[in-house]
């Protein structure tokens, strides 16, 4: 008898998370998909169990975090968060606590969206926070950790991100010029990142795996 599998996903109101949720619901790998967020998303599916939670009190919801694979698509910007501290809370503290609690509930794989240039010793605050997050989750004891470092993300978002919209207008015409070592700087669709995440999880590879943007593209293509 085939083992039933549960996926836990956080961040479904975001670009990558929204695509990831749809792919999880359509995947034969999972019998149940648990989505946690500050509000429900307008999706109805027999496999979907939505939990409205307060991330500031995440330990209260520990019993709802039981899953095999965790897809963490949490993320914001300093501008949207309102301050560096608020940004760090979402992109580091929430991610770290989610990973810890899900691990304690039996999760074996943790898949997380990070950013190109993530480095805990980086000069830029954004990259340093992302790098610190990566360092934290890779040291927790998961069987598998998959870290996705996309470049500029393309796709329709719920909220406007003016800076990213301007950057995408500049970068799109230049994409064909970014070849060889520069390929990892090409803008990438949010849906592509989501496809790569599911394909990586399905391989059930042990250890820590880090995917720069060009590897994410390759992974998504191999998923078919």
Count: domains in the chain: 1
Q: Specify whether the CB–CB gap between 76 and 91 falls below 8 A.
A: yes
Per residue in 141-170, pLDDT tens?
999 999 999 999 997 655 554 444 444 444
Measured from the Cβ of residue 33, the count of other Cβ atoms closer than 10 Å reads: 27
pLDDT at residue number 51:
96
∠ CA 65-10-43, rounded to 5°: 105
| Listed residue (39, 33, 71) closest to 198, CA to CA | 71
- Does a structural domain hold residue 92? yes
How many CA atoms lie within 13 Å of 160's alpha carbon, on the beta-carbon side? 2
All residue ranges of the chain with pLDDT < 70 are 1-2, 156-185
Is 94 known to be catalytic?
no
DSSP single-letter state for residue 3: P
- Does a structural domain hold residue 164? no
Q: What is the CATH number of the domain that holds 122?
A: 3.40.50.720
- Does a structural domain hold residue 21? yes
Is 61 known to be catalytic?
no
| Listed residue (73, 66, 31) closest to 51, CA to CA | 66
Q: Cα(37)–Cα(9) distance, rounded to whole angstroms? A: 9
- Does a structural domain hold residue 35? yes
pLDDT at residue number 1:
45
- Does a structural domain hold residue 158? no
For the record, the structure tokens of 16 come out as: 């990558």
Q: Cα(71)–Cα(123) distance, rounded to whole angstroms? A: 28
pLDDT at residue number 186:
82
Q: Specify whether the CB–CB gap between 68 and 45 falls below 8 A.
A: no
Q: Cα(166)–Cα(34) distance, rounded to whole angstroms? A: 34
For the record, the structure tokens of 65 come out as: 């975090």
Per residue in 56-69, pLDDT tens?
999 999 999 999 99
- Does a structural domain hold residue 216? yes
- Does a structural domain hold residue 170? no
110 by DSSP, 3-state: which? strand
Edge-to-edge strand ranges of the sheet holding 144-149: 48-52, 32-37, 6-10, 69-72, 109-113, 144-149, 207-212
Its domain, for residue 204, covers 6-151+190-222
Which residue in 130, 184, 186, 195 is the catalytic one? 130
Which residue in 47, 61, 96, 126 is the catalytic one? 126
| Listed residue (7, 8, 19) closest to 158, CA to CA | 19
101: exposed, middle or buried (Cβ count in 10 Å: 0-12, 13-18, 19+): buried
Question: 10-23 burial string, b = 16+ CB within 10 Å, else e?
Answer: bbbbbbbbbbbbbb
- Does a structural domain hold residue 43? yes
């Amino acid at each position: 008898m085939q083992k039933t599998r549960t996926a836990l996903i956080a961040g479904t109101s975001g670009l990558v998370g929204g695509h990831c949720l749809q792919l999880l619901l359509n995947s034969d790998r999972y019998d149940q998909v648990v989505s946690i967020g500050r509000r429900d998303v307008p999706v109805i599916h027999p496999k979907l169990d939505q939990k409205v939670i307060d991330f500031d009190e995440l330990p209260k919801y520990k019993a709802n975090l039981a899953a095999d694979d965790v897809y963490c698509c949490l993320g914001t910007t300093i501008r949207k968060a309102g301050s560096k501290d608020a940004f760090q809370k979402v992109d580091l503290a929430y991610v770290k606590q989610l990973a810890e609690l899900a691990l304690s509930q039996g999760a074996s794989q943790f898949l997380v969206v990070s950013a190109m240039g993530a480095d805990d010793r980086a000069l830029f605050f954004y990259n340093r926070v992302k790098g610190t997050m990566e360092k934290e989750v890779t040291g927790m004891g998961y069987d598998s950790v998959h870290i996705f470092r996309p470049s500029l993300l393309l796709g329709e978002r719920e909220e406007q991100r003016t800076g990213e919209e301007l950057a995408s207008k500049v970068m799109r015409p230049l994409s064909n010029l970014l070849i060889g070592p520069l390929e990892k700087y090409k803008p990438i669709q949010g849906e592509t990142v989501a496809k790569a995440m599911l394909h990586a999880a399905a391989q059930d590879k042990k250890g820590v795996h880090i995917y720069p943007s060009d590897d994410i593209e390759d992974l998504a293509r191999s998923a078919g």
